[in-house]
């Protein structure tokens, strides 16, 4: 029997859930009581018999063998040529190799937990809004190679919305819902319109993402606070280690920083100074962190500007204004920061997220993305009473040297003056882009496709692999002419219908 599974392949942690008996169940991956997630780490461990055993999650992290481990795999999938020499394997391991091995381990666990065969596993896998096509396609291929049938890849905040139970009750509603997902590696936003007037309709209006999260904050705490505040202590700790052990010690110190930060998130008294103890060679060291130090760090990194800039970008994509948002939900471990909650209340001028959320930021909420993905898959496969309009923003443009020119910005709502293309349309049609190389003045542009036409071709889209971090990039040689006409068309049988066109002044002015 097919099993509907949601997989949140996070940079720091992996969470999974599945649909059974008319509801979503979190899959406990960890051997630690009360912990439903596992660290996204793989260890290539050498057994006593001389064989290499692959370990994922807590056993890999607890072993503290950085030279034989790969962590933060999802971020490494962004790098085209990343690889790491693994001494126990006596060869290099690429990010794709590591991701495939992790998904293979997840597939084995799912088969045992759900009592099924690999081919019965049907999954929706989540990725950040700002993930690239390279990253998404690699995650897709890694899961497929591990035997998991990937039904769809969706963004993390979109999936998280399906874990908000109250949005799926039978009450009449007309809500604009903001999902704020601040996790280990990214800050992701999603704006949705949820209507229920005799039938539930969910429409994704806009999304925006930023590659900045808990990993970056941890690294900054370590380098900008701890290494300066405790320079002598850290130097003394490292002086006892050889080259291999230094890497292990650095990892242990970074783990200590993460624990301090997480404890600080949970501490409401801002006057408290929290401490953790590092057990060195024959000596113990105490490290402390305060709310004021964290606030100063956020100020230096302009966290306020990052969050506000991303929110502005989100609302620029749609006709909805920020004061029209009726509900908000926060997800992700980094969203627990009091500083972030204060920024959101300041931005919206009111608390749209509600005080009841404080009690909801438990393990269940931290696995909401996986739970929502499983619920979404069930709805898409089994229910015909819920209408879902999942639209993805992207853009069309040209490459000129190292610069990307966005010629047409495509955003996910039909009432926008710009173009929104739904998943269904992307899956079932080809799109053609024609670019016309022009003359010195815009009035000389050939509008009927005769003068200086360059046919670029069709853009084909795979539903599971499609992405657009920077848009569909059209590479071509440009003459020294100043103006360019770009036309975006839909293909209906043999007929090509123009959707939108723009004339660009290549010196920088849009006409």
- Cβ proximity of 112 and 169 under 8 Å: no
pLDDT score, position 309: 93
pLDDT score, position 129: 85
Average pLDDT over residues 21-30: 86
- Cβ proximity of 183 and 334 under 8 Å: yes
d(CA 245, CA 152): 42
pLDDT score, position 457: 44
The number of helices, as runs of H, and strands, as runs of E, in the chain is 15, 25
Homologous superfamily assigned to 3-156:
ATPase, nucleotide binding domain (3.30.420.40)
On the question of pLDDT at 262 being above 90, the answer is: no
On the question of pLDDT at 445 being above 50, the answer is: no
Two structure tokens written together for 49 = 């018999």
Residue whose entry in the numeric block shows the structure tokens 């022009």 = 438
How far is C-alpha 4 from the chain's CA centre?
Answer: 21
Q: What is the 3-state secondary structure (H, E, C) of 139-175?
A: HHHHHHHCCCEEEEEEEHHHHHHCCCHHHHCCCCEEE
CATH 3.30.420.40 residue spans of the chain: 3-156
Q: How many CA within 13 A on the CB side of residue 192?
A: 30
- Give every CB contact of residue 224 below 8 A, 6+ residues apart in sequence: 297, 300
Q: Which residue has the higher pLDDT, 244 or 289?
A: 289
Q: Each residue of 340-372: pLDDT tens digit? A: 989 999 999 888 987 544 444 445 667 899 999
pLDDT score, position 65: 87
Q: Each residue of 452-503: pLDDT tens digit? A: 334 444 444 443 333 334 444 444 444 444 555 555 555 455 555 555 566 6
pLDDT score, position 272: 63
- Cβ proximity of 37 and 16 under 8 Å: no
3-state DSSP assignment of residue 383:
coil
On the question of pLDDT at 504 being above 90, the answer is: no
Nearest CA to 147 out of 113, 97, 108 is that of: 108
pLDDT score, position 319: 83
Transcribe 119-131 into DSSP letters.
GGEEEEEEE-TT-
Tell me the pLDDT band of 510, cut-offs 50, 70 and 90: very low
Question: Mean pLDDT in the chain?
Answer: 77
On the question of pLDDT at 181 being above 90, the answer is: yes
d(CA 327, CA 166): 11
pLDDT score, position 337: 83
pLDDT score, position 42: 95
pLDDT score, position 452: 37
Instruction: Give the distance between the most distant pair of CA atoms in the chain.
Output: 81
Tell me the pLDDT band of 433, cut-offs 50, 70 and 90: very low
Average pLDDT over residues 79-93: 91
């Amino acid at each position: 029997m097919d099993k509907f599974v949601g997989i949140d392949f996070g940079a720091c942690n992996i969470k999974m859930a599945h649909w059974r008996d008319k509801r979503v169940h979190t899959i406990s991956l960890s051997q630690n009581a009360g912990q439903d997630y596992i660290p996204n780490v793989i260890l290539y461990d050498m057994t006593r018999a001389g064989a290499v055993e692959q370990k994922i999650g807590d056993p890999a992290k607890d072993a503290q063998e950085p030279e034989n481990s790969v962590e933060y795999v999802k971020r490494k999938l962004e790098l085209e040529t990343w690889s790491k020499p693994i001494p126990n394997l006596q060869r290099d391991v690429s990010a794709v190799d590591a991701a495939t091995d992790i998904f293979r381990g997840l597939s084995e666990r799912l088969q045992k937990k759900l009592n099924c065969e690999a081919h019965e596993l049907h999954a929706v896998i989540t990725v950040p809004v700002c993930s690239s096509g390279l990253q998404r396609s690699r995650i897709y291929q890694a899961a497929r190679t591990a035997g998991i049938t990937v039904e769809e890849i969706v963004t993390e905040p979109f999936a998280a919305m399906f874990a908000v139970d109250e949005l799926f009750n039978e009450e009449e509603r007309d809500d604009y819902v903001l999902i704020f997902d601040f996790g280990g590696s990214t800050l992701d936003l999603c704006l949705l319109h949820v209507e229920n007037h005799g039938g539930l309709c969910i429409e994704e209006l806009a999304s925006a993402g930023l590659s900045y999260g808990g990993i970056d904050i941890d690294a900054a705490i370590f380098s900008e606070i701890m290494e300066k505040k405790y320079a002598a202590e850290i130097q003394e700790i490292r002086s006892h280690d050889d080259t291999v052990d230094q890497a292990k010690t650095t990892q242990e110190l970074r783990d200590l920083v993460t624990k301090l930060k997480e404890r600080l998130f949970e501490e409401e008294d801002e006057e408290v100074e929290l401490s953790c103890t590092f057990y060195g060679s024959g000596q113990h060291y105490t490290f402390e962190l305060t709310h004021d130090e964290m606030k100063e760090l956020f100020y230096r990194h302009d966290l306020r500007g990052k969050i506000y800039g991303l929110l502005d970008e989100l609302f620029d994509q749609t006709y909805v204004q920020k004061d029209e948002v009726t509900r908000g939900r926060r997800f992700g471990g980094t969203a627990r920061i009091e500083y972030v909650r204060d920024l959101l209340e300041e931005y919206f001028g009111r608390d749209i997220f509600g005080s009841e959320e404080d009690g909801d930021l438990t393990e269940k909420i931290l696995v909401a993305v996986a739970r929502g993905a499983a619920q979404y898959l069930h709805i898409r496969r089994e229910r015909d009473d819920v209408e879902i309009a999942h639209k993805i923003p992207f853009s069309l443009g040209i490459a000129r040297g190292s610069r990307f020119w966005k010629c047409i910005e495509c955003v996910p709502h039909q009432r926008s003056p710009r173009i929104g293309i739904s998943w269904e349309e992307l899956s079932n049609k080809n799109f053609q882009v024609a670019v016309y190389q022009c003359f010195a003045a815009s009035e000389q542009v050939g509008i009927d496709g005769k003068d200086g036409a360059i046919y670029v071709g069709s853009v084909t889209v795979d539903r599971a692999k499609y992405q657009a971090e920077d848009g569909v990039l059209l590479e071509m040689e440009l003459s020294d002419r100043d103006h360019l006409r770009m036309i975006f068309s839909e293909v209906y049988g043999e007929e090509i219908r123009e959707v939108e066109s723009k004339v660009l002044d290549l010196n920088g002015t849009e006409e």
